Structure 1
Amino acid sequence: MRRLPLWILRSAAAGSLRSPAPSRGGCPVPRAPHLPAEAAAAPAELARWLPRRGYSRFASGFTPLEPKKLGSILDVERAKGLSPEHLVAAWDDYHLGRGHIGVSMKAKLYRLLEQRSATCPYFVIPLWRGSGYTTMFMQVQLPHMIFTGLEDYKARGTQASPYYTVTHFTEFAETKDTVLVRGDVVFTSKLTDAEAKCLLETAHSFYLNDVRYKLVERFNKETHDFEFKDVLQALEMPSM
């Protein structure tokens, strides 16, 4: 696989702004800085050199990507007797303060995620941090999602180690219309729990929101037309 040229991704690299802005729903929303128009320019061929194989090459030999069993997290037999609402509440309560991320989604949304990620498995997401943003590279091969820093991916390619892994559990999709989602931060020095939750919510939104998904499609299928500034605009982040 060809390595990503540094100039291709300079507009998606970590940036800095003058001052942070208050957060909204756990994901900070920055104030727009006074920048010249040329500062908003982003490369048009960001995804041209992305890998076209399964995620195992990206994270080869990385144990957190080994399939997790839901039974190692909760008592599946006992959970079968719970209503969907009580199951979700128990799942959420279990993950509070444990250093992991626990969310849930409807089975219909998971099937949509499955359908869309099958042909568009890659994307880049800016994550607001301090007075600027850093960019994460993500790869989806359900039931897993994996995230690493774009700078690490640029430097190490398929040998880059994931910062964060996500597993979707479908054991209750048919009986309770519920898919349980578990996120594990691999490197706590790279990503906080709050950032991990924000990253997961943002990733899901780009695949499940019809308008945002057009950017994912463009990134994977029409790389010449992809502009990173459109992602920033969708998230109400200023271009660097």
Structure 2
Amino acid sequence: MQRVYTNSTIWRSIASKIRKNLFSINDHFAVRSFSAVPLAAAAAKLHQPDIPCDFQKWGSIGFCRTSKFASGFNPLQPKPLDTIVDVHRLKDRYPEDIASIWDDYHIGRGHVGATMKAKLYHLLEHRASECRYFVIPLWRGSGYTTMFVQVQTPHMIFTGLEDYKARGTQASPYFTVSFYTEFAESKDLVLIRGDIVFTSKLTDSEAEWLLETAQSFYLNDTRYKLVERFNRETRDFEFKDVLQILNMPIL
């Protein structure tokens, strides 16, 4: 469990680490485009804005509930939506039916299933393009552990802050989330799937709470101001403000 540091020294240190670990990502890196191409080869083709850590390696394992992650790990091929559900049959369903089917499919399967309106997803996408990183305290018993969040739509990645501080680009993701936009235009619906990579570090209920909380910080105007401060005005960022807005005690 962790204590809160009221000064911004720790956040300046984290921001400095992020800047040192930046690298670009190709604009073709979407849900269907991950492959087991070595990172060094992929890095030579990158053109998009900088993001920290090995995003290809992190995002690629989002569809496999496994702890087999280490330096040199080969990215796995993620499942396209039509291998999870019958997309053709869903095209004739009402949005409410699709959301219900999607939620039911994930019950008891060790994954998190959720949906959101296309308008909200576009807002998340826009805000994440400007402010990609945040920190969220996860309450456990009499204290909390802090999670580092990276949002690179259509993906959202969570890892332990202490792991990130200690290992940088070698930090292992605890939980990965992918957003499917196949029904965004026709049904005003975006399907969300979360996969816990390390079940020893995160429970299903904790993963669900993290997803809901992360989305709230990007979609709620008041909460998003803290995300902006973390990304743009790190010197003025106070972690206690996050604790207060989540009604968590300052230890």
TM-score by length of 2: 0.77
Equivalent positions of 1:213-224 (< 5 A) are 213-224=224-235
CA RMSD of aligned residues (A): 1.8
Equivalent positions of 1:100-115 (< 5 A) are 100-115=111-126
Write out per-residue CA displacement over residues 39-63 of structure 1, whole angstroms, 9 at most, x where no aligned residue: 7724356142224445573345344
Aligned length: 205
1:145–1:165: 8 Å Cα contact kept in structure 2? yes
2:8–2:236: 8 Å Cα contact kept in structure 1? no
2:8–2:234: 8 Å Cα contact kept in structure 1? no
Corresponding residue to 2:104 among 83, 86, 93: 93
The alignment status of 1:232 with 2:199, answered yes or no, reads: no
Corresponding residue to 1:58 among 54, 57, 61: 54
2:5–2:239: 8 Å Cα contact kept in structure 1? no
The alignment status of 1:15 with 2:12, answered yes or no, reads: no
User: Identity percentage over the alignment?
Assistant: 63
The alignment status of 1:161 with 2:165, answered yes or no, reads: no
Write out per-residue CA displacement over residues 110-161 of structure 1, whole angstroms, 9 at most, x where no aligned residue: 0000000001000000001122110000101100000000111111011101
**Which structure 2 segments of 5+ residues have no match?**
25-50, 63-76
Corresponding residue to 1:149 among 147, 160, 177: 160
In the other structure, the counterpart of 2:15 is 48
Corresponding residue to 1:193 among 189, 193, 204: 204
In the other structure, the counterpart of 1:82 is 93
SS in 1 for 2:57: coil
1:44–1:227: 8 Å Cα contact kept in structure 2? no
| Structure 2 counterpart of 1:48, one-letter code | A
Distance 1:213 1:141 in 2: 16
TM-score by length of 1: 0.80
In the other structure, the counterpart of 1:129 is 140
In the other structure, the counterpart of 2:80 is 69
